[in-house]
Protein backbone atom coordinates (compact mmCIF):
# COMPACT_ATOMS: atom_id res chain seq x y z
CA UNK A 1 0.00 0.00 0.00
CA UNK A 2 2.84 2.37 0.87
CA UNK A 3 4.36 1.75 -2.57
CA UNK A 4 1.01 2.58 -4.19
CA UNK A 5 1.27 6.00 -2.54
CA UNK A 6 -1.58 5.43 -0.03
CA UNK A 7 -1.77 7.82 2.95
CA UNK A 8 0.08 7.23 6.23
CA UNK A 9 -3.08 6.59 8.26
CA UNK A 10 -4.48 4.11 5.70
CA UNK A 11 -1.26 2.10 5.69
CA UNK A 12 -1.04 2.08 9.51
CA UNK A 13 -4.64 0.99 9.84
CA UNK A 14 -4.19 -1.86 7.34
CA UNK A 15 -1.01 -3.00 9.15
CA UNK A 16 -2.79 -2.89 12.52
CA UNK A 17 -5.72 -4.94 11.28
CA UNK A 18 -3.48 -7.48 9.56
CA UNK A 19 -1.41 -7.93 12.76
CA UNK A 20 -4.33 -9.47 14.68
CA UNK A 21 -2.99 -7.86 17.87
CA UNK A 22 -6.17 -5.96 18.64
CA UNK A 23 -8.17 -8.99 19.76
CA UNK A 24 -5.24 -10.52 21.68
CA UNK A 25 -4.38 -7.34 23.61
CA UNK A 26 -8.03 -6.52 24.28
CA UNK A 27 -8.52 -10.01 25.77
CA UNK A 28 -5.36 -9.69 27.91
CA UNK A 29 -6.49 -6.28 29.10
CA UNK A 30 -9.85 -7.73 30.16
CA UNK A 31 -8.09 -10.46 32.21
CA UNK A 32 -6.19 -7.83 34.19
CA UNK A 33 -3.07 -8.58 36.25
CA UNK A 34 0.44 -7.70 35.08
CA UNK A 35 -0.20 -9.09 31.56
CA UNK A 36 -3.34 -6.96 31.40
CA UNK A 37 -1.43 -3.84 32.53
CA UNK A 38 1.16 -4.48 29.82
CA UNK A 39 -1.61 -4.92 27.22
CA UNK A 40 -3.11 -1.58 28.38
CA UNK A 41 0.22 0.14 27.85
CA UNK A 42 0.60 -1.48 24.41
CA UNK A 43 -2.88 -0.37 23.37
CA UNK A 44 -2.14 3.16 24.65
CA UNK A 45 1.03 3.17 22.57
CA UNK A 46 -0.88 2.18 19.43
CA UNK A 47 -3.47 4.91 20.06
CA UNK A 48 -0.61 7.41 20.55
CA UNK A 49 0.93 6.22 17.27
CA UNK A 50 -2.33 6.87 15.42
CA UNK A 51 -2.63 10.29 17.12
CA UNK A 52 0.90 11.14 16.02
CA UNK A 53 0.10 10.00 12.47
CA UNK A 54 -3.05 12.18 12.42
CA UNK A 55 -1.11 15.23 13.66
CA UNK A 56 1.68 14.56 11.13
CA UNK A 57 -0.76 14.26 8.23
CA UNK A 58 -2.56 17.43 9.37
CA UNK A 59 0.69 19.31 9.06
CA UNK A 60 1.89 17.54 5.87
CA UNK A 61 -1.20 16.35 3.99
CA UNK A 62 0.80 14.69 1.18
CA UNK A 63 3.16 12.88 3.55
CA UNK A 64 4.20 9.30 2.84
CA UNK A 65 4.92 6.44 5.24
CA UNK A 66 8.72 6.70 4.89
CA UNK A 67 8.71 10.31 6.07
CA UNK A 68 6.47 9.49 9.03
CA UNK A 69 8.70 6.60 10.14
CA UNK A 70 11.78 8.87 10.00
CA UNK A 71 9.88 11.47 12.00
CA UNK A 72 8.89 8.96 14.69
CA UNK A 73 12.43 7.53 14.83
CA UNK A 74 13.80 11.01 15.54
CA UNK A 75 11.38 11.85 18.36
CA UNK A 76 13.28 12.44 21.57
CA UNK A 77 11.07 14.97 23.29
CA UNK A 78 7.35 14.42 23.82
CA UNK A 79 5.46 16.66 21.39
CA UNK A 80 1.99 16.78 22.87
CA UNK A 81 0.52 17.21 26.30
CA UNK A 82 -1.11 13.77 26.03
CA UNK A 83 2.21 11.91 25.83
CA UNK A 84 4.22 14.14 28.16
CA UNK A 85 2.81 12.28 31.12
CA UNK A 86 4.21 9.00 29.75
CA UNK A 87 7.73 10.38 29.18
CA UNK A 88 10.47 8.44 31.00
CA UNK A 89 11.69 9.98 34.25
CA UNK A 90 15.16 10.78 32.90
CA UNK A 91 13.82 12.60 29.82
CA UNK A 92 14.10 16.35 29.25
CA UNK A 93 10.76 18.11 29.39
CA UNK A 94 10.54 21.06 27.05
CA UNK A 95 7.75 23.47 27.85
CA UNK A 96 6.72 27.07 28.25
CA UNK A 97 6.78 28.92 31.57
CA UNK A 98 3.00 28.94 31.62
CA UNK A 99 2.71 25.19 31.30
CA UNK A 100 5.44 24.62 33.92
CA UNK A 101 3.29 26.16 36.66
CA UNK A 102 2.47 23.71 39.44
CA UNK A 103 5.23 21.22 38.50
CA UNK A 104 8.80 20.69 39.76
CA UNK A 105 12.07 19.17 38.54
CA UNK A 106 15.49 18.59 40.11
CA UNK A 107 17.18 20.75 37.48
CA UNK A 108 15.49 23.51 35.54
CA UNK A 109 17.11 25.48 32.71
CA UNK A 110 15.50 28.81 31.79
CA UNK A 111 17.17 29.59 28.48
CA UNK A 112 17.59 32.76 26.44
CA UNK A 113 16.53 35.31 29.05
CA UNK A 114 17.24 38.32 26.82
CA UNK A 115 15.95 41.85 27.07
CA UNK A 116 13.13 42.23 24.54
CA UNK A 117 12.13 38.58 24.84
CA UNK A 118 11.70 38.40 28.58
CA UNK A 119 10.10 40.73 29.54
CA UNK A 120 8.13 40.86 26.30
CA UNK A 121 6.49 44.28 26.55
CA UNK A 122 4.75 44.25 23.19
CA UNK A 123 1.23 45.60 23.68
CA UNK A 124 -1.33 42.82 23.77
CA UNK A 125 -5.02 42.97 23.14
CA UNK A 126 -6.97 44.28 20.21
CA UNK A 127 -6.38 47.21 17.89
CA UNK A 128 -9.41 49.03 19.24
CA UNK A 129 -8.46 48.43 22.89
CA UNK A 130 -11.58 46.47 23.86
CA UNK A 131 -9.62 44.77 26.67
CA UNK A 132 -8.89 48.19 28.23
CA UNK A 133 -12.56 49.05 27.85
CA UNK A 134 -13.53 45.84 29.66
CA UNK A 135 -11.05 46.68 32.47
CA UNK A 136 -12.56 50.17 32.72
CA UNK A 137 -16.12 48.90 32.85
CA UNK A 138 -15.25 46.26 35.43
CA UNK A 139 -13.50 48.92 37.54
CA UNK A 140 -10.07 47.23 37.33
CA UNK A 141 -8.42 50.47 36.23
CA UNK A 142 -9.00 54.07 37.12
CA UNK A 143 -11.17 55.67 34.41
CA UNK A 144 -9.74 59.18 34.79
CA UNK A 145 -6.15 57.93 34.54
CA UNK A 146 -6.93 55.78 31.51
CA UNK A 147 -8.74 58.55 29.69
CA UNK A 148 -6.05 61.20 30.08
CA UNK A 149 -3.34 58.70 29.08
CA UNK A 150 -1.62 58.57 32.48
CA UNK A 151 -2.11 54.84 32.73
CA UNK A 152 1.11 53.04 31.80
CA UNK A 153 0.42 50.09 29.55
CA UNK A 154 3.91 48.69 30.19
CA UNK A 155 3.73 48.56 34.00
CA UNK A 156 1.12 45.77 34.32
CA UNK A 157 2.79 43.83 31.50
CA UNK A 158 6.16 44.07 33.24
CA UNK A 159 4.68 42.88 36.52
CA UNK A 160 3.03 39.96 34.75
CA UNK A 161 6.25 38.97 32.98
CA UNK A 162 8.24 39.20 36.23
CA UNK A 163 5.74 36.93 37.95
CA UNK A 164 6.01 34.44 35.09
CA UNK A 165 9.82 34.48 35.27
CA UNK A 166 9.70 33.72 38.98
CA UNK A 167 7.24 30.89 38.33
CA UNK A 168 9.72 29.38 35.83
CA UNK A 169 12.71 29.77 38.16
CA UNK A 170 10.94 28.39 41.21
CA UNK A 171 10.24 25.07 39.43
CA UNK A 172 13.77 23.85 40.32
CA UNK A 173 14.17 21.66 43.40
CA UNK A 174 17.97 21.72 43.59
CA UNK A 175 19.58 23.39 40.53
CA UNK A 176 18.54 26.36 38.44
CA UNK A 177 20.38 27.34 35.25
CA UNK A 178 19.49 30.68 33.68
CA UNK A 179 21.22 31.53 30.39
CA UNK A 180 21.54 34.94 28.74
CA UNK A 181 24.06 36.55 26.43
CA UNK A 182 25.64 39.99 26.30
CA UNK A 183 27.09 40.57 22.87
CA UNK A 184 27.63 43.43 20.48
CA UNK A 185 28.64 41.21 17.54
CA UNK A 186 26.33 39.64 14.97
CA UNK A 187 23.37 41.32 13.28
CA UNK A 188 21.86 42.70 16.48
CA UNK A 189 23.16 43.57 19.91
CA UNK A 190 22.14 41.09 22.56
CA UNK A 191 21.49 42.31 26.09
CA UNK A 192 20.69 40.14 29.08
CA UNK A 193 17.26 40.68 30.60
CA UNK A 194 16.87 42.97 33.61
CA UNK A 195 15.36 39.91 35.33
CA UNK A 196 18.76 38.19 35.35
CA UNK A 197 20.20 41.01 37.45
CA UNK A 198 17.15 41.06 39.67
CA UNK A 199 17.56 37.33 40.24
CA UNK A 200 21.21 37.79 41.17
CA UNK A 201 20.26 40.65 43.47
CA UNK A 202 22.56 43.14 41.75
CA UNK A 203 21.98 46.24 39.72
CA UNK A 204 22.52 46.09 35.97
CA UNK A 205 25.97 47.70 35.98
CA UNK A 206 27.52 45.37 38.55
CA UNK A 207 30.35 43.00 37.63
CA UNK A 208 29.35 39.50 36.57
CA UNK A 209 29.37 36.80 39.22
CA UNK A 210 32.77 35.08 39.53
CA UNK A 211 33.20 31.88 37.55
CA UNK A 212 33.43 28.56 39.40
CA UNK A 213 37.02 27.71 40.31
CA UNK A 214 38.99 25.94 37.56
CA UNK A 215 36.70 26.97 34.69
CA UNK A 216 38.13 28.90 31.74
CA UNK A 217 36.99 32.47 31.14
CA UNK A 218 34.95 32.70 27.93
CA UNK A 219 36.36 34.45 24.88
CA UNK A 220 35.13 38.05 24.97
CA UNK A 221 32.02 38.66 22.83
CA UNK A 222 31.52 35.01 21.94
CA UNK A 223 27.86 34.31 21.35
CA UNK A 224 26.68 30.91 22.45
CA UNK A 225 25.07 30.00 19.16
CA UNK A 226 26.01 27.42 16.55
CA UNK A 227 26.23 29.84 13.59
CA UNK A 228 28.66 32.03 15.55
CA UNK A 229 30.77 29.03 16.51
CA UNK A 230 30.91 27.89 12.88
CA UNK A 231 31.83 31.42 11.80
CA UNK A 232 34.63 31.59 14.36
CA UNK A 233 36.04 28.21 13.34
CA UNK A 234 35.86 29.14 9.66
CA UNK A 235 37.65 32.39 10.45
CA UNK A 236 40.51 30.43 12.02
CA UNK A 237 40.71 27.88 9.19
CA UNK A 238 40.77 30.57 6.49
CA UNK A 239 43.13 32.98 8.26
CA UNK A 240 46.50 32.96 6.41
CA UNK A 241 48.27 34.32 9.52
CA UNK A 242 47.04 31.39 11.63
CA UNK A 243 47.99 28.98 8.82
CA UNK A 244 51.55 30.31 8.86
CA UNK A 245 52.18 30.79 12.59
CA UNK A 246 49.87 28.34 14.34
CA UNK A 247 49.11 25.36 12.07
CA UNK A 248 48.05 23.27 15.10
CA UNK A 249 45.30 25.75 15.96
CA UNK A 250 44.13 25.67 12.35
CA UNK A 251 44.10 21.86 12.35
CA UNK A 252 42.09 21.82 15.60
CA UNK A 253 39.53 24.25 14.16
CA UNK A 254 39.30 22.14 10.99
CA UNK A 255 38.67 19.02 13.08
CA UNK A 256 35.90 20.77 15.01
CA UNK A 257 34.34 21.92 11.75
CA UNK A 258 34.51 18.37 10.37
CA UNK A 259 32.71 17.09 13.47
CA UNK A 260 30.02 19.74 13.12
CA UNK A 261 29.68 19.04 9.38
CA UNK A 262 29.26 15.34 10.10
CA UNK A 263 26.47 16.20 12.54
CA UNK A 264 24.75 18.15 9.76
CA UNK A 265 25.38 21.66 11.13
CA UNK A 266 24.67 24.22 8.43
CA UNK A 267 27.65 26.09 7.03
CA UNK A 268 30.26 23.79 8.58
CA UNK A 269 31.14 21.91 5.38
CA UNK A 270 33.34 23.81 2.88
CA UNK A 271 30.85 22.92 0.11
CA UNK A 272 28.48 25.40 1.76
CA UNK A 273 30.97 28.26 2.00
CA UNK A 274 29.36 30.36 -0.71
CA UNK A 275 32.00 33.06 -0.60
CA UNK A 276 34.77 30.77 -1.81
CA UNK A 277 32.90 29.18 -4.72
CA UNK A 278 34.19 30.24 -8.11
CA UNK A 279 32.05 31.81 -10.83
CA UNK A 280 29.75 29.28 -12.46
CA UNK A 281 30.31 30.94 -15.85
CA UNK A 282 31.83 34.04 -17.35
CA UNK A 283 29.89 33.67 -20.59
CA UNK A 284 27.54 36.49 -21.63
CA UNK A 285 23.82 35.66 -21.87
CA UNK A 286 23.83 36.28 -25.60
CA UNK A 287 26.18 37.16 -28.47
CA UNK A 288 25.71 39.81 -31.13
CA UNK A 289 25.21 37.16 -33.81
CA UNK A 290 22.31 35.51 -31.93
CA UNK A 291 19.68 37.80 -33.48
CA UNK A 292 17.55 40.64 -32.07
CA UNK A 293 17.53 40.98 -28.28
CA UNK A 294 13.97 40.71 -26.85
CA UNK A 295 13.07 43.75 -24.78
CA UNK A 296 9.87 44.91 -23.12
CA UNK A 297 9.31 48.70 -23.03
CA UNK A 298 8.47 48.42 -19.32
CA UNK A 299 12.00 47.18 -18.51
CA UNK A 300 13.90 49.98 -20.27
CA UNK A 301 13.53 52.22 -17.23
CA UNK A 302 14.95 49.61 -14.88
CA UNK A 303 17.77 48.56 -17.20
CA UNK A 304 18.79 52.18 -17.50
CA UNK A 305 18.57 52.84 -13.76
CA UNK A 306 20.18 49.64 -12.44
CA UNK A 307 21.00 46.59 -14.62
CA UNK A 308 21.77 44.45 -11.55
CA UNK A 309 18.29 44.97 -10.11
CA UNK A 310 16.76 44.02 -13.46
CA UNK A 311 18.84 40.83 -13.61
CA UNK A 312 18.14 39.74 -10.01
CA UNK A 313 14.43 40.52 -10.13
CA UNK A 314 14.06 38.72 -13.42
CA UNK A 315 15.71 35.61 -12.00
CA UNK A 316 13.67 35.09 -8.86
CA UNK A 317 14.47 38.18 -6.78
CA UNK A 318 10.88 39.40 -6.78
CA UNK A 319 7.81 37.29 -6.04
CA UNK A 320 5.49 39.86 -7.68
CA UNK A 321 2.62 39.12 -5.32
CA UNK A 322 2.26 42.41 -3.49
CA UNK A 323 -1.07 44.14 -3.03
CA UNK A 324 -0.24 46.93 -5.46
CA UNK A 325 0.49 44.42 -8.23
CA UNK A 326 -2.86 42.67 -7.63
CA UNK A 327 -4.80 45.94 -7.55
CA UNK A 328 -2.93 47.21 -10.62
CA UNK A 329 -3.74 44.10 -12.66
CA UNK A 330 -7.39 44.28 -11.67
CA UNK A 331 -7.69 47.96 -12.53
CA UNK A 332 -6.04 47.42 -15.92
CA UNK A 333 -8.47 44.60 -16.69
CA UNK A 334 -11.44 46.74 -15.70
CA UNK A 335 -10.17 49.70 -17.68
CA UNK A 336 -10.45 47.45 -20.72
CA UNK A 337 -13.99 46.63 -19.67
CA UNK A 338 -14.78 50.36 -19.54
CA UNK A 339 -13.60 50.59 -23.13
CA UNK A 340 -15.96 47.71 -23.91
CA UNK A 341 -18.88 50.04 -22.97
CA UNK A 342 -19.94 47.93 -20.01
CA UNK A 343 -22.47 49.87 -17.87
CA UNK A 344 -21.01 51.26 -14.57
CA UNK A 345 -23.23 49.18 -12.23
CA UNK A 346 -22.34 45.98 -14.09
CA UNK A 347 -18.68 46.96 -13.85
CA UNK A 348 -18.94 47.53 -10.10
CA UNK A 349 -20.54 44.10 -9.68
CA UNK A 350 -17.74 42.51 -11.74
CA UNK A 351 -15.19 44.26 -9.52
CA UNK A 352 -16.81 42.98 -6.33
CA UNK A 353 -16.97 39.43 -7.70
CA UNK A 354 -13.31 39.53 -8.72
CA UNK A 355 -12.39 41.04 -5.35
CA UNK A 356 -13.77 38.03 -3.48
CA UNK A 357 -10.98 35.95 -4.99
CA UNK A 358 -8.27 38.33 -3.77
CA UNK A 359 -6.89 37.63 -0.31
CA UNK A 360 -5.64 40.87 1.24
CA UNK A 361 -5.49 39.63 4.82
CA UNK A 362 -7.85 41.56 7.06
CA UNK A 363 -11.40 42.36 6.03
CA UNK A 364 -11.30 46.08 6.82
CA UNK A 365 -8.21 46.53 4.64
CA UNK A 366 -9.79 44.53 1.82
CA UNK A 367 -12.94 46.70 2.00
CA UNK A 368 -10.85 49.86 1.97
CA UNK A 369 -8.87 48.68 -1.08
CA UNK A 370 -12.08 47.68 -2.87
CA UNK A 371 -13.50 51.19 -2.36
CA UNK A 372 -10.21 52.70 -3.52
CA UNK A 373 -10.23 50.53 -6.64
CA UNK A 374 -13.86 51.46 -7.34
CA UNK A 375 -12.92 55.15 -7.04
CA UNK A 376 -10.07 54.61 -9.53
CA UNK A 377 -12.53 53.26 -12.08
CA UNK A 378 -14.78 56.31 -11.60
CA UNK A 379 -11.76 58.58 -12.08
CA UNK A 380 -10.82 56.76 -15.26
CA UNK A 381 -14.39 57.13 -16.58
CA UNK A 382 -14.21 60.87 -15.90
CA UNK A 383 -10.89 61.16 -17.72
CA UNK A 384 -12.33 59.22 -20.63
CA UNK A 385 -15.36 61.51 -20.95
CA UNK A 386 -13.21 64.62 -20.60
CA UNK A 387 -10.77 63.73 -23.38
CA UNK A 388 -13.17 62.62 -26.13
CA UNK A 389 -12.98 66.04 -27.74
CA UNK A 390 -9.25 65.70 -28.45
CA UNK A 391 -8.65 61.93 -28.55
CA UNK A 392 -10.32 59.05 -30.36
CA UNK A 393 -10.00 55.49 -29.14
CA UNK A 394 -7.90 53.29 -31.44
CA UNK A 395 -7.66 50.21 -29.22
CA UNK A 396 -7.05 48.76 -25.76
CA UNK A 397 -4.28 46.32 -24.80
CA UNK A 398 -2.61 46.99 -28.12
CA UNK A 399 0.31 44.76 -29.05
CA UNK A 400 3.81 46.15 -29.54
CA UNK A 401 5.87 43.79 -31.67
CA UNK A 402 8.62 44.89 -34.01
CA UNK A 403 12.33 44.95 -34.71
CA UNK A 404 14.60 47.95 -34.28
CA UNK A 405 17.51 47.19 -36.59
CA UNK A 406 21.10 47.61 -35.37
CA UNK A 407 22.62 50.90 -36.56
CA UNK A 408 26.24 49.87 -36.10
CA UNK A 409 28.31 46.68 -35.80
CA UNK A 410 28.58 46.74 -32.03
CA UNK A 411 24.92 47.57 -31.39
CA UNK A 412 22.36 44.76 -30.98
CA UNK A 413 19.12 44.71 -32.97
CA UNK A 414 16.16 44.89 -30.58
CA UNK A 415 12.92 42.89 -30.69
CA UNK A 416 10.43 45.17 -28.90
CA UNK A 417 7.54 43.28 -27.33
CA UNK A 418 4.86 44.53 -24.99
CA UNK A 419 1.35 45.85 -24.62
CA UNK A 420 -0.03 49.38 -24.52
CA UNK A 421 -2.93 49.94 -22.08
CA UNK A 422 -4.76 52.20 -24.51
CA UNK A 423 -4.04 53.69 -27.88
CA UNK A 424 -5.75 56.88 -29.02
CA UNK A 425 -5.54 59.00 -32.14
CA UNK A 426 -5.06 62.75 -31.97
CA UNK A 427 -6.97 65.06 -34.36
CA UNK A 428 -4.16 64.55 -36.94
CA UNK A 429 -4.57 60.76 -36.77
CA UNK A 430 -1.23 60.22 -35.02
CA UNK A 431 -1.03 57.47 -32.36
CA UNK A 432 -1.10 58.68 -28.73
CA UNK A 433 0.00 56.10 -26.16
CA UNK A 434 -1.93 56.00 -22.85
CA UNK A 435 -0.42 54.24 -19.86
CA UNK A 436 -2.75 53.85 -16.85
CA UNK A 437 -1.03 54.17 -13.46
CA UNK A 438 -2.55 53.07 -10.14
CA UNK A 439 0.21 54.53 -7.94
CA UNK A 440 -0.85 57.06 -5.31
CA UNK A 441 2.14 59.30 -5.98
CA UNK A 442 2.20 61.30 -9.17
CA UNK A 443 5.58 61.82 -10.82
CA UNK A 444 6.83 65.29 -11.76
CA UNK A 445 6.15 66.77 -15.20
CA UNK A 446 9.88 66.73 -15.92
CA UNK A 447 10.18 63.02 -15.07
CA UNK A 448 7.24 62.26 -17.35
CA UNK A 449 8.92 64.11 -20.23
CA UNK A 450 11.86 61.69 -19.92
CA UNK A 451 9.83 58.59 -18.98
CA UNK A 452 11.65 55.69 -20.62
CA UNK A 453 8.66 53.39 -21.06
CA UNK A 454 6.60 56.08 -22.81
CA UNK A 455 9.64 57.08 -24.88
CA UNK A 456 10.10 53.45 -25.98
CA UNK A 457 6.44 53.30 -27.07
CA UNK A 458 6.98 56.43 -29.12
CA UNK A 459 10.10 54.89 -30.70
CA UNK A 460 7.98 51.79 -31.47
CA UNK A 461 5.28 53.98 -33.04
CA UNK A 462 7.85 55.72 -35.25
CA UNK A 463 9.26 52.33 -36.32
CA UNK A 464 5.82 50.86 -37.13
CA UNK A 465 6.09 48.32 -34.28
CA UNK A 466 2.58 49.00 -32.92
CA UNK A 467 -0.13 46.63 -34.08
CA UNK A 468 -2.37 48.18 -36.74
CA UNK A 469 -0.37 51.42 -36.97
CA UNK A 470 1.87 52.32 -39.90
CA UNK A 471 5.38 53.68 -39.22
CA UNK A 472 5.23 57.45 -38.91
CA UNK A 473 5.29 60.41 -36.59
CA UNK A 474 4.02 59.52 -33.10
CA UNK A 475 1.45 61.79 -31.45
CA UNK A 476 2.93 61.84 -27.92
CA UNK A 477 2.15 59.76 -24.85
CA UNK A 478 0.39 60.19 -21.50
CA UNK A 479 0.43 58.71 -18.04
CA UNK A 480 -3.04 58.70 -16.48
CA UNK A 481 -2.96 58.48 -12.66
CA UNK A 482 -6.36 57.01 -11.82
CA UNK A 483 -5.73 57.19 -8.06
CA UNK A 484 -5.50 61.02 -8.34
CA UNK A 485 -8.71 62.72 -9.53
CA UNK A 486 -8.31 66.08 -11.25
CA UNK A 487 -10.99 68.79 -11.44
CA UNK A 488 -10.45 69.70 -15.08
CA UNK A 489 -9.04 66.51 -16.67
CA UNK A 490 -10.93 63.92 -14.59
CA UNK A 491 -7.66 62.20 -13.65
CA UNK A 492 -4.22 63.69 -13.12
CA UNK A 493 -2.19 63.16 -16.27
CA UNK A 494 1.41 63.67 -17.24
CA UNK A 495 2.21 64.33 -20.86
CA UNK A 496 5.19 63.39 -22.98
CA UNK A 497 5.17 65.64 -26.02
CA UNK A 498 5.59 64.65 -29.65
CA UNK A 499 9.38 64.17 -29.98
CA UNK A 500 11.59 66.01 -32.44
CA UNK A 501 13.58 63.73 -34.81
CA UNK A 502 16.69 64.38 -32.67
CA UNK A 503 14.86 63.45 -29.47
CA UNK A 504 13.53 60.31 -31.12
CA UNK A 505 17.08 59.31 -32.08
CA UNK A 506 18.26 59.97 -28.52
CA UNK A 507 15.51 57.70 -27.15
CA UNK A 508 16.41 55.04 -29.66
CA UNK A 509 20.00 55.14 -28.33
CA UNK A 510 18.56 54.54 -24.85
CA UNK A 511 16.58 51.50 -26.06
CA UNK A 512 19.63 49.90 -27.71
CA UNK A 513 21.75 50.63 -24.64
CA UNK A 514 19.12 49.01 -22.41
CA UNK A 515 19.17 45.92 -24.65
CA UNK A 516 22.99 45.81 -24.42
CA UNK A 517 22.73 45.93 -20.61
CA UNK A 518 20.96 42.54 -20.62
CA UNK A 519 24.02 40.83 -22.09
CA UNK A 520 26.21 40.34 -19.03
CA UNK A 521 28.23 38.59 -17.76
CA UNK A 522 28.72 41.68 -15.57
CA UNK A 523 25.62 43.54 -14.35
CA UNK A 524 26.37 46.91 -12.84
CA UNK A 525 24.84 47.94 -9.50
CA UNK A 526 23.95 51.64 -9.88
CA UNK A 527 22.98 53.25 -6.59
CA UNK A 528 19.85 55.37 -7.07
CA UNK A 529 16.84 56.80 -5.24
CA UNK A 530 14.96 53.50 -5.59
CA UNK A 531 17.57 51.55 -3.56
CA UNK A 532 15.58 52.17 -0.38
CA UNK A 533 12.72 50.01 -1.67
CA UNK A 534 14.76 47.64 -3.80
CA UNK A 535 13.58 44.04 -3.20
CA UNK A 536 17.04 42.63 -4.02
CA UNK A 537 19.07 44.97 -1.80
CA UNK A 538 20.16 42.04 0.36
CA UNK A 539 22.02 40.63 -2.66
CA UNK A 540 23.48 43.92 -3.86
CA UNK A 541 27.23 44.49 -3.40
CA UNK A 542 26.72 48.27 -3.48
CA UNK A 543 25.22 48.05 0.01
CA UNK A 544 26.67 46.81 3.26
CA UNK A 545 23.90 44.24 3.81
CA UNK A 546 24.35 42.68 0.37
CA UNK A 547 28.11 42.17 0.29
CA UNK A 548 29.58 38.70 0.30
CA UNK A 549 31.19 37.80 3.59
CA UNK A 550 34.51 37.31 1.82
CA UNK A 551 34.57 40.87 0.48
CA UNK A 552 36.52 43.53 2.33
S1 LIG B 1 19.98 48.21 -4.08
FE2 LIG B 1 20.17 49.86 -5.60
S3 LIG B 1 22.13 49.46 -6.61
FE4 LIG B 1 21.54 47.59 -5.55
S5 LIG B 1 20.45 46.35 -7.04
FE6 LIG B 1 18.91 47.52 -5.92
S7 LIG B 1 18.63 49.37 -7.15
FE8 LIG B 1 20.55 48.44 -7.82
Q: Tell me the best of 525, 530, 532, 539 to mutate to test the pocket of ligand 1, counting ligand atoms within 8 Å of each CB and taking the most.
A: 525
Q: How far is the CA of 524 from the centre of ligand 1 (A)?
A: 9
Q: Tell me the best of 303, 305, 309 to mutate to test the pocket of ligand 1, counting ligand atoms within 8 Å of each CB and taking the most.
A: 309
Q: What is the pLDDT of residue 515?
A: 96
Phi–psi pair at 392, nearest 5 degrees:
-125, 130
Residues 413, 293: contact at Cβ < 8 Å? Answer: yes
Q: What is the pLDDT of residue 142?
A: 65
Q: Is the CB of 306 under 6 A from ligand 1?
A: yes
Q: What is the pLDDT of residue 78?
A: 58
Q: What is the pLDDT of residue 467?
A: 93
Instruction: Give the three-class secondary structure for 76.
Output: coil
pLDDT along the chain (552 residues), means of 10: 74 89 86 81 88 83 83 69 59 84 91 85 66 71 60 73 91 91 65 85 56 55 73 90 92 94 90 78 92 94 94 79 61 69 74 70 73 86 90 92 93 94 94 90 92 96 94 95 91 95 96 95 93 89 77 56
Helix pair 363-387, 323-339: axis angle to 10 deg: 40
Half-sphere exposure of 438 (CA within 13 A, CB side): 22
Give the pairing of strands 431-437 and 172-178: unpaired
CA distance 19 to 26: 13
Give the pairing of strands 172-178 and 105-110: parallel
What is the tens place of the pLDDT at every residue in 113-146? 988 888 877 666 666 667 667 777 777 666 666 5
Q: Is the CB of 303 under 6 A from ligand 1?
A: no
Q: Is the CB of 526 under 6 A from ligand 1?
A: yes
Q: Is the CB of 525 under 6 A from ligand 1?
A: yes
Q: Is the CB of 534 under 6 A from ligand 1?
A: yes
Ligand 1, residue 527: give the atom nearest the CA: 3
Q: How far is the CA of 118 from the centre of ligand 1 (A)?
A: 37
Q: How far is the CA of 303 from the centre of ligand 1 (A)?
A: 11
Q: Is residue 396 within a helix (H) or strand (E), and if so which, with residue range? A: strand 392-404
Q: How far is the CA of 12 from the centre of ligand 1 (A)?
A: 53
Q: What is the pLDDT of residue 546?
A: 76
Minimal-distance CA residue to ligand 1 atom 4: 540
Q: 447 to each of 102, 339, 462, 514, 532, how far by Cα in Å?
A: 68, 28, 22, 18, 19
Question: What is the maximum alpha-carbon separation in the chain?
Answer: 103
Q: Is the CB of 531 under 6 A from ligand 1?
A: yes
| Residue 380 CB contacts under 8 Å (≥ 6 apart), including other chains | 331, 335, 338, 436, 480, 482, 490, 491
Q: What is the pLDDT of residue 36?
A: 82
Domains along the chain?
8-84 (no CATH), 97-200 (3.30.160.800), 226-276 (no CATH), 288-532 (3.90.320)
Phi–psi pair at 178, nearest 5 degrees:
-115, 125
Minimal-distance CA residue to ligand 1 atom 7: 531
Q: What is the pLDDT of residue 512?
A: 96
Ligand 1, residue 306: give the atom nearest the CA: 8
Ligand 1, residue 528: give the atom nearest the CA: 2
Minimal-distance CA residue to ligand 1 atom 5: 309
Q: Is the CB of 530 under 6 A from ligand 1?
A: yes
Q: Is the CB of 535 under 6 A from ligand 1?
A: no
Q: Is the CB of 309 under 6 A from ligand 1?
A: yes
Q: How far is the CA of 267 from the centre of ligand 1 (A)?
A: 27
Q: Is the CB of 311 under 6 A from ligand 1?
A: no
Q: How far is the CA of 311 from the centre of ligand 1 (A)?
A: 11
Ligand 1, residue 312: give the atom nearest the CA: 5
| Residue 165 CB contacts under 8 Å (≥ 6 apart), including other chains | 97, 110, 113, 118, 119, 193, 195, 199
CA distance 492 to 483: 8
Q: How far is the CA of 512 from the centre of ligand 1 (A)?
A: 22
Q: What is the pLDDT of residue 413?
A: 96
Residues 456, 300: contact at Cβ < 8 Å? Answer: yes
Q: How far is the CA of 95 from the centre of ligand 1 (A)?
A: 44
Taking alpha carbons only, the member of 233, 106, 92, 242 closest to residue 171 is: 106
CA distance 518 to 506: 19
Taking alpha carbons only, the member of 156, 517, 93 closest to residue 309 is: 517
Taking alpha carbons only, the member of 415, 400, 383 closest to residue 493 is: 383
Ligand 1, residue 526: give the atom nearest the CA: 3
Amino acid sequence: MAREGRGVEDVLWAAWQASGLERRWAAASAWGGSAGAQADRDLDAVVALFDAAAAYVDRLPRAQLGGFLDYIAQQQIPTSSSNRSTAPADAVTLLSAHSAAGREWELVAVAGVQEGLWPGLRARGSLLGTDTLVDLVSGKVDAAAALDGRLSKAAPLLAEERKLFLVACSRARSTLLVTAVDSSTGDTDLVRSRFVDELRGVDGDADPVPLPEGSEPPTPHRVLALPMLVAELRGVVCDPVVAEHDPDKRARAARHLATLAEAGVRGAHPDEWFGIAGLSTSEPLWHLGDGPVPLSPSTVEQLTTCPLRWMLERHGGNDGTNTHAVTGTLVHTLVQAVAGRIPPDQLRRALETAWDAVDLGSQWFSRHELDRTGAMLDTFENWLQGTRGELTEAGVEVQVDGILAARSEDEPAVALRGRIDRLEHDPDGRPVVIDVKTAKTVMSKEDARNHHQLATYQVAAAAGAIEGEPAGEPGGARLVFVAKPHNKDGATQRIQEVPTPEKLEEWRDTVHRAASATQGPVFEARVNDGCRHCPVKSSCPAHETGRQVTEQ
